[in-house]
């Protein structure tokens, strides 16, 4: 055989072996390595665009994750027209296993976007090794300090590593920690088929969770899971099976504009009317004065001119009667202002955003109870904590897919003081691995 021909054959066979290599031959990545790489992709969502997803960075990140899922050997990998990634890790249960064809299909979800409130561009992660307590000063902006008094869960992580940004951006643990947790758990399951038995696992990485729009495009029928979990929580051991009921109230005022030099008894200043509305909101039911299961009214967007002004506010409460009370407060103030300013046009619009997912999760307690058992097997004490906010799981649960939320170890989301405990991330992965086994075991009891 000619030498050139021989070498060409060797090269061809080598390339063929690489292209057909088992996922087990690919190098392992730690959860921290994945996380550090993920947060450097800018996926900040944008509430002011009409595109889906709201930013190109999410599409870019989705393609990266789809490629990694393919490398791991998952099936049915798809990025839909909205940028939502879905894939399947098929069951490894033998045909004679008593749970074969009986174990429910379990879903794992995390969202790709980061908060629009703080920049997610050029994130520079910093690993604080062997944390020994005390406040953490961020090196890129020393005015940014993670204070123990504001972050009491730091006490759980003495002697372990803490990841932050350098203080000039957010970190992106919300929710790239969840993505890193899921991807690392999948890697472990693929590498160790004899150690972990599981049914079909569906995976999805979603879009625009932070602006509350992306989950509307999620195809539950295509996902085809019987129960699911968002991996998007905070402190170790935490399960969230409750969210606020959520509505948005919008007050629009149209006044009358005229040159201010000739405005007496003619001008109706819409800015003053909107200001009066805000001033009459009870201060004790604001976010800064409430906690735990206390609801609030939160004016969070304001714009206007003399002629037209608008204020948007969040209405939040865990209970229906509490939500009714807050809506009544807003309606009463609007009616008062209509009487006081008869020449103005004052409109009120109330939009429902999502409802407390516990209403539906209580109908199938297995989903939460199995998560508790998985956390116990990870050596932690599970605790239920209501989310003072919303998740994709709230809407999915309302739409028929029970989806509580499981911790990642991240804290202080939506801020430059955001941080991630590596131990919490590792326990999140361990919980996922336990969880898929619990579902198998419980299916044969």
Q: How far is CA 350 from CA 112, 196, 293, 328, 336, in A?
A: 29, 48, 22, 11, 18
DSSP secondary structure of 238-268: EEE--B-EEEEEEEEEE-B---GGG-TTT-B
Distance, CA of 198 to CA of 93 (rounded, Å): 6
Q: How far is CA 10 from CA 4, 5, 6, 25, 34, in A?
A: 10, 9, 6, 20, 34
Residue 414 Rama label (left phi>0; alpha psi -120 to 50; beta): left
Active-site position among 42, 68, 113, 232: 113
The pair of three-digit structure tokens given for residue 27, joined into one six-digit string: 């190098």
242 included as an active-site residue = no
How many Cα atoms sit within 13 Å of 5 on the Cβ side? Answer: 2
Q: Helix 320-340 crosses helix 270-279 at what angle (to 10 degrees)?
A: 140
113 included as an active-site residue = yes
φ and ψ at residue 213, rounded to 5 degrees: -115, -25
The pair of three-digit structure tokens given for residue 182, joined into one six-digit string: 């899921």
Query: Pick from 65, 71, 67: which is nearest to 108 by CA?
Result: 65
Active-site position among 68, 174, 175, 209: 209
Query: Pick from 427, 444, 443, 13: which is nearest to 184 by CA?
Result: 427
What's the chain's Rg over C-alpha atoms? Answer: 25
Q: Mark out the alpha helices in 88-224 (DSSP H runs).
A: 173-191, 220-223
Positions marked active-site: 113, 209
């Amino acid at each position: 055989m000619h030498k050139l021909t021989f070498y060409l054959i060797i090269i061809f066979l080598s390339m063929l072996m690489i292209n057909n290599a088992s996922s087990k031959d690919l190098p392992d990545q730690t959860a921290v390595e994945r996380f550090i790489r993920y947060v450097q992709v800018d996926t900040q969502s944008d509430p002011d665009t009409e595109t889906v997803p709201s930013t190109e960075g999410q599409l870019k990140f989705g393609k990266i994750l789809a490629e990694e899922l393919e490398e791991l050997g998952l099936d049915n990998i798809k990025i839909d027209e909205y940028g939502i990634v879905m894939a399947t890790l098929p069951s490894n249960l033998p045909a004679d296993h008593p749970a074969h064809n009986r174990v429910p299909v379990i879903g794992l979800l995390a969202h790709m976007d980061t908060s629009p409130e703080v920049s997610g561009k050029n994130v520079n992660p910093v690993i604080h090794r062997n944390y020994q307590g005390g406040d953490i000063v961020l090196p890129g902006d020393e005015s940014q300090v993670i204070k123990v008094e504001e972050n009491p869960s730091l006490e759980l992580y003495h002697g372990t590593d803490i990841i932050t940004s350098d203080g000039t951006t957010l970190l992106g643990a919300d929710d790239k920690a969840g993505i890193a947790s899921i991807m690392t758990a999948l890697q472990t399951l693929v590498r160790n088929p004899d150690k972990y038995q599981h049914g079909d696992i569906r995976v999805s990485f979603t879009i625009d969770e932070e602006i509350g729009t992306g989950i509307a495009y999620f195809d539950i029928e295509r996902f085809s899971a019987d129960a699911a979990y968002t991996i998007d929580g905070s402190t170790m051991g935490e399960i969230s099976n409750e969210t606020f009921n959520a509505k948005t109230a919008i007050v629009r005022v149209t006044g009358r504009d005229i040159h201010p030099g000739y405005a007496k008894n003619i001008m109706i200043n819409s800015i003053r009317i909107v200001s009066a509305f805000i001033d009459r909101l009870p201060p004790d039911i604001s976010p800064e004065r409430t906690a735990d299961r206390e609801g609030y009214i939160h004016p969070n967007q304001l714009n206007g001119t003399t002629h037209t002004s608008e204020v948007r506010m969040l209405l939040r409460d865990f209970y229906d009667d509490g939500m009714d009370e807050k809506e009544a407060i807003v309606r009463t103030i609007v009616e008062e202002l209509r009487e006081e300013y008869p020449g103005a046009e004052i409109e009120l619009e109330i939009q429902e955003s999502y409802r407390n997912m516990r209403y539906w999760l209580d109908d199938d307690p297995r989903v939460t109870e199995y998560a508790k058992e998985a956390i116990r097997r990870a050596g932690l004490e599970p605790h239920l904590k209501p989310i003072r906010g919303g998740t994709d799981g709230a809407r999915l649960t309302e739409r028929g897919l029970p989806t509580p939320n499981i911790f990642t170890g991240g804290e202080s989301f939506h801020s430059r003081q955001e941080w991630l405990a590596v131990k919490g991330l590792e326990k999140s992965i361990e919980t996922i691995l336990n969880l898929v086994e619990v579902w198998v075991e419980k299916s044969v009891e």
